A and B are shown apart, each in its own frame.
Chain A
C-alpha cells in the first residue's frame, strides 16, 4: 500500500464546474496535509495546507480533511482553464513538529475544458 494515494487521472471538468480531487493516506498519526499544484516543467507550488478535521477555504479552493477516514480532498470551484495542472497531495507523517519531510502522492492531472 502506498503511503499517499491519488487517482492519476486525467480528471476532465468543463470550465465553471467544480473539480474534486481526492487523496488517501496510510499513516493514521499524520497531522499535516498539503495540496501542491504543478504545471508541466515547473516547480510544485503550495496552494493549501490543512491540519484539522473539516473544511478550509481560500478563494476558489476548499480543502477537506477527515482523519477518521484518512482522507483529504481539494475542491476547486468555478474551474478555469488556467487550473489545468497536476495536483499533488502531500502529507507529513507523524505529529506536527516531529518531522518536516513531505510524502507525496503521484498526483492527479486536471484538465479544464472550454
Chain B
C-alpha cells in the first residue's frame, strides 16, 4: 500500500513567486492534514480536510496560503506570493477515520530566497 506522497520534494523559489505543493493521501483516507516545520521550530498544524471540506483551518498563517482538496482525493497547498519566512518543510498527513493513526508524508522542503 502506497503511503502519503508529496510533490515536489524540494523547491527553491524567489520571494514573490508562487509555489503549489501537492499531497496524495493514502487511498481511502478521508482525513487529510497539512503541517509545517520552520527552521528550529516544532511541527505546527495548518489545516484539516474531511473529504473535500475544510474541518479546521485555524493554523493557516495568513491569506497568502490557499489549500484545496477538490473531489476529496489529493490536496494542494498554494503559497502566493511567497515570503522568506515561508521557508520550511511542509508535511501532509492522512488518516482513515477520526481518531485513527495519522500517517505522514516525507514533506516538501520549500526554500524562499
CB-contacts of B35-52 with A (<8 A): 35, 40-45, 48
| Smallest Cβ-Cβ distance to B9: which chain A residue | A41
> Quick check: B41 and A106 within 8 Å, CB to CB?
yes
- Contact pattern, B 50-73, Cβ under 8 Å of A = 1, otherwise 0: 000000100100000000000000
Q: Tally A residues with Cβ within 8 Å of B.
A: 23
Contact of A100 among B59, B102, B104 (CB under 8 A): B102
User: For the complex, is B105 an interface residue (Cβ under 8 Å from A)?
Assistant: yes
For residue B34, give the distance in angstroms from its CB to the closest CB of chain A. Answer: 10
Q: Tally B residues with Cβ within 8 Å of A.
A: 25
In the complex, what distance in Å separates the CA atom of A104 from the CA atom of B31?
19
For residue B87, give the distance in angstroms from its CB to the closest CB of chain A. Answer: 16
> Quick check: B42 and A104 within 8 Å, CB to CB?
yes
User: For the complex, is B4 an interface residue (Cβ under 8 Å from A)?
Assistant: yes
For residue B83, give the distance in angstroms from its CB to the closest CB of chain A. Answer: 23
User: For the complex, is B16 an interface residue (Cβ under 8 Å from A)?
Assistant: no
Q: Could you tell me the dominant secondary structure of chain B's interface residues?
A: loop
> Quick check: B33 and A101 within 8 Å, CB to CB?
yes
Q: Could you tell me the dominant secondary structure of chain A's interface residues?
A: loop
| Smallest Cβ-Cβ distance to A4: which chain B residue | B42
Report chain B residues within 8 Å CB of A106: 40-42
Contact of A102 among B3, B45, B107 (CB under 8 A): B45
For residue B112, give the distance in angstroms from its CB to the closest CB of chain A. Answer: 19
In the complex, what distance in Å separates the CA atom of A45 from the CA atom of B101?
10
In the complex, what distance in Å separates the CA atom of A46 from the CA atom of B56?
22
| Smallest Cβ-Cβ distance to B101: which chain A residue | A46
Report chain B residues within 8 Å CB of A114: none
CB-contacts of B69-85 with A (<8 A): none
| Smallest Cβ-Cβ distance to A8: which chain B residue | B40
Q: Which residues of A contact B (CB under 8 A)?
A: 2, 4, 32, 36, 41-46, 49, 88, 96-97, 99-107
Q: Which residues of B contact A (CB under 8 A)?
A: 3-4, 31, 33, 35, 40-45, 48, 56, 59, 91, 95, 98-99, 101-107
Identify 12 residue pairs between A and B in the complex whose beta-carbon atoms are under 8 Å apart, listed by A's number: A41-B106, A43-B4, A43-B91, A43-B105, A43-B107, A96-B99, A100-B48, A101-B33, A101-B48, A101-B59, A104-B44, A106-B41
